[in-house]
Amino acid sequence: MGAKIESVVAREIIAQRGVVSLEVTVTADDGARGVSTPESGVSTGSHEAAFLLDGGERYNGLGVRKAAEQVNKVIAPALKGMDVSDQLEVDRLMLELDGTPNKARLGANAIVGVSLAVLKAGANSAGLPLYRYIGGANACTLPIPIYGIGQGGRYREPGRSRWFKPSYEFVAYGAGGYSKALEMSWRCGEEVKKLLRARYADKYNPSYHSMSLAGVIGEDRELLEMMSESIVRCGYEGKVGIYFDCAADIYYEKDIDRYVGFFSPGEKSRDDLIKLYKDFVTTYPVVSLEDPLREDDLEGHAIVTKELGIEVVGDDLFTTNVERLKQAIAIGAANSMVLKVTQVGTVSEALTACRTALANGYNVHPCGSRGDRDSIGDFAVGMNAGQVRAVEHNRVLTIEEQLGKSAVWPGKALFKGWRK
């Protein structure tokens, strides 16, 4: 028998991205602790588990004191005395306590915060790094960092797009290691800034963090051209590719069945977008793209996957939900699944979805855009996913040092396997 859960405590905090979030701390009777900070996302799929928010005027209704109360008054007493290493049973009990299909009663943020904190406490109790606790002796593949530089232009009023998508990233698959991949991606990003300063001197204002090119470029193709040129200027042809998160659903207007202001001004049909994607993949070194069509268009995603021959990633499409993933597998929609534990609500459900994806030839794409960035790198290594996005880079650098010569680098084969 392992250590027992002694306490579970939640409070409201302001998390990394300035988002109001829970902070959940689980402590075992041997002193081991685990802390989790689940956040809401920029692009949120309608099939995700439901966060419990306070409503009212505080933080424009986004406060999470109600979710904290559910943790402290309902979940904590039920879990006290349970084996901290029995993740499946802990998660099962919380799902039973909630009793709803989307975790709306207790709140997905409450449930996932506890689930992740229990996982971390279990690893600490076992004296293991989290990646080793998740994946065992087989956890040895370093992930390729998907390195974001910012957003493209904006071609309509923000509406549901919220100004943050599509987002563009570099993928240094030819680096041979994580630290080198960061350096190569950073260099490419700096080169893009130089090109922007030269070409749009009267419009472009450099920012310290990621950039938004609203009002600077005429269409997103211009950014793809500069990203491609930066790869060449840095001498990284055949070593660095381009990834972009389309988040197409936030541009989709149901009443006219068109995508409005997506990549460029005007309206586009599904066929228009598929044609555009084929051109992008042919013209630029695009190795992967995410959510290229609206979240309920499984058939369209199957067409995109077949036509493009690259990695097509489902985020809002799957919401780390094994049942949605199985529907997609049946018709060949996408070939990679984003892993966000916060989307589905428990570690156990997320890992079940990951195992299903890997067993059916799909990639797994861990992403820390929903909080707990310090642990998403451990999930990437633990699952041998081969890639990671929105991660705490210093954590993965530490893992790289720990693995040493036993580390495996996936390289371009992770992506080119989808090409015909």
The reply to whether 40 and 173 lie within a common domain is no
Q: What is the CATH number of the domain that holds 139?
A: 3.20.20.120
Same domain, 371 and 324: yes
Q: Rounded to 5 degrees, what angle do the CA atoms 263, 247, 179 make?
A: 95
pLDDT at residue 54, as a whole number: 94
**pLDDT above 80: residue 6:** yes
Q: 250 or 168: which carries more pLDDT confidence?
A: 168
pLDDT at 181: 98
Q: Are residues 139 and 123 in the same domain?
A: no
Indicate the pLDDT class of residue 2, thresholds 50, 70 and 90.
confident
| pLDDT above 70 as % of the chain | 95
324 and 219 in a single domain? The answer is yes
Compute the average pLDDT of residues 137-150: 96
Residue 116 shares a structural domain with residue 142: no
Residue 256 has pLDDT above 90, yes or no: yes
Task: Taking residues 301-325, report their average pLDDT.
Answer: 95
For the segment 326-343, the average pLDDT, to the nearest whole number, is 95
Q: Are residues 168 and 121 in the same domain?
A: no
Q: What is the pTM of this model?
A: 0.94
Per-residue pLDDT at 44: 57
Name the residue range of residue 58's domain. Answer: 5-127
218 and 80 housed in the same domain: no
Calculate mean pLDDT across residues 268-292. Answer: 97
166/251 Cα distance (integer angstroms): 10
Per-residue pLDDT for 1 more than 80? no
Confidence (pLDDT) at 373: 85
Which of 127, 158, 181 marks a domain boundary? 127
Query: CA 145 to CA 182: how far, in whole Å?
Result: 7
Residue with tokens 């099939």: 47
Domain termination residue (choose one: 127, 159, 186): 127
pLDDT at 43: 45
State yes or no: pLDDT of 163 exceeds 80.
no
Evaluate if residue 159 carries a pLDDT over 90.
no
Is the confidence at residue 279, as pLDDT, over 60? yes
Residue 419 pLDDT grade (very low, low, confident, very high; cuts 50, 70, 90):
very low
Please tell me which residue, 165 or 288, carries the higher pLDDT value.
Answer: 288
In CATH, what number is assigned to the domain containing residue 14? 3.30.390.10
For position 420, what pLDDT does the model report? Answer: 40
What are the pLDDT digits (tens) for 172-211?
A: 999 999 999 999 999 999 999 999 999 999 999 877 667 8
pLDDT bracket for residue 417 (50, 70, 90): low
Q: What is the average per-residue pLDDT within 43-70? A: 88
Mean pLDDT in residue range 387-393? 95
Kindly report, residue by residue over 90-135, the tens digit of the pLDDT: 999 999 999 999 999 999 999 999 999 999 999 999 999 999 999 9
- pLDDT over 70 at 418, yes or no: no
174 and 117 co-located in one domain: no
pLDDT at residue 369 in the model: 81
Residue pLDDT, tens place only, 353-366: 999 999 999 999 99
The reply to whether 118 and 161 lie within a common domain is no
Q: What is the pLDDT of residue 219?
A: 96
Predicted local distance difference test score (pLDDT) of residue 42? 45
pLDDT score recorded for residue 158: 54
How many domains are there within the chain?
2
| pLDDT value for 214 | 87
Model confidence pLDDT, tens digit, residues 227-236: 999 999 999 9
For residues 178 and 121, state if they share a domain.
Answer: no
How much is the pLDDT for 382? 97
Pair (213, 283) in one structural domain: yes
Residue 264 contacts by C-beta under 8 Å, 6 or more apart in sequence? 153, 155, 218, 219, 220, 221
Verify that 72 and 157 share a domain, yes or no: no
For the chain, the average pLDDT equals: 93
Which of 76, 99, 127 terminates a domain? The answer is: 127
* 157 has pLDDT over 80: no
